[in-house]
Amino acid sequence: MTVRVVSYNLLVPILANRPEHYPKCQPEFLQTDYRWNLIQSQLEQEIFQHENTVICLQELSLPLLPRLELFFRGLNYSFFHNLYGQRHEDYMGVGIAIPVSMQLNSISIIKIGDHLRSMSKLRKKANLFKWGWDLYQFVMSKFIQFASDPWETAMARANALICLQLVIDDKPLCIGTYHMPCLYKEPEVMAIHSSVVKDLMFQLAAGKDFILAGGFNIKPWDICYQGLTEKGYVGCNLPKSSTYEISYRPNAEQVLKSAYREKNGTEPVYTDFSDTPHSPDFCATLDYIFFVGRIMPEKVLELPDHPASESYPDDTHPSDHLMIAATFRLL
């Protein structure tokens, strides 16, 4: 028995519908209707050509949500989602769709920022010195900018992890999806989220096999990737908090395998390609399908070695991300 897991970052319309943001894209290819037709066709192909196809989506949006709901309902799929972004992000979110015939035992939707708060408490300051410390901070703030506490920034993010506990051919399997905060200038915040999401998936799976797919906004050579995939890796030490006492301790012995790297010996050349004013000619791998347990990737969706246009989205790519997919044998 096999299961096909698809992961796709759809690109929210509010970003796509900005020709000035994608100056090398033809405007007609940025339109929501054009992009939706391609997205629908690509998802249908994965569902029709493979058995037990599970769809993991990132950058869901309020404008596309009704279309996705009708699309999945028409294919006898159940669709679970959470929109957590703000208005200027089209209320961005994540979702998982599964065939209605698939046995579903539980659904978990966890906001990682809230989860972090549950593992922290404010540090106590002696009342005698509190007024002096507050005055010092006020005076110094007029002259210098205090560095923000990465844990406080991490807690403020609303990104949600969705995890489904399934049974396929009498075999339990957990499937999760996550979209990492895109905070390249604050790598410590990304390290916190990536570590916590990994350990949380192990906790939710409770010894069962699991698959974690999504957009992680980290490259294969980044320390966050090493921390997720290399046992005992010490190069990704989490920062200290000046504001909170943190009870969370990363488990460096719990690591993930990547479906593409296990099957092909390496990660894809790229999964994200775009040319924007803030990130010109960006081309790198940011999307992954991780797994743990007695399951093996039999095949993965073949991806191009180089882009065929100046920037995505284009006439055949409705997002600036490529869709990725892997078929797993349930052992």
Neighbouring residues of 275: CB distance < 8 A, sequence distance ≥ 6 = 22, 23, 24, 281, 282, 310, 311
What pLDDT does residue 129 have?
Answer: 54
| pLDDT at position 43 over 50 | yes
Mean pLDDT of the chain: 92
What pLDDT does residue 278 have?
Answer: 87
- pLDDT (mean) for 69-82: 98
Q: For 37-51, 89-103, 229-243, which range has the lowest pLDDT when averaged over its residues?
A: 229-243
Give the rounded percent of residues in the chain with a pLDDT score beyond 70: 93
Q: Which residue has the higher pLDDT, 130 or 235?
A: 235
Q: Is 302 exposed, middle or buried (0-12, 13-18, 19+ CB in 10 A)?
A: exposed
What pLDDT does residue 18 have?
Answer: 86
Q: Which residue has the higher pLDDT, 298 or 121?
A: 298
- Tell me the longest C-alpha to C-alpha distance in the chain: 69
Q: Mapping DSSP to helix (H, G, I), strand (E, B) and coil, where does residue 317 land?
A: coil
What pLDDT does residue 242 have?
Answer: 86
| pLDDT at position 309 over 60 | yes
The CATH class for the domain spanning 2-330 reads: alpha beta
- pLDDT (mean) for 42-50: 98
What pLDDT does residue 144 have?
Answer: 43
Q: Give me the count of residues in the chain.
A: 331
- pLDDT (mean) for 184-203: 94
What pLDDT does residue 185 have?
Answer: 85
Peptide bond into 220 cis (omega under 30): no
| pLDDT at position 113 over 90 | yes
Domain residue extents for the chain: 2-330
- pLDDT (mean) for 325-330: 97
Q: For 89-98, 119-128, 178-187, 213-222, which range has the lowest pLDDT when averaged over its residues?
A: 119-128
Q: Which residue has the higher pLDDT, 129 or 66?
A: 66
What pLDDT does residue 166 have?
Answer: 98
| pLDDT at position 141 over 70 | no
- pLDDT (mean) for 187-205: 95
What pLDDT does residue 74 have?
Answer: 98
| pLDDT at position 133 over 60 | no
- pLDDT (mean) for 254-273: 98
- pLDDT (mean) for 15-41: 95
What pLDDT does residue 130 have?
Answer: 55
**Alpha-carbon distances, residue 123 vs 193, 237, 310 (angstroms):** 21, 21, 51
The string of DSSP codes covering 214-273 is EE----TTSHHHHHHHSTT--S-PPPP-SSEEE-----TT---EEHHHHHHSS--S-SEE
CA 260 to chain centre: 16
Q: Which helix (H) or strand (E) holds 66?
A: helix 65-74
Q: Which residue has the higher pLDDT, 16 or 134?
A: 16
Q: Mapping DSSP to helix (H, G, I), strand (E, B) and coil, where does residue 294 land?
A: coil
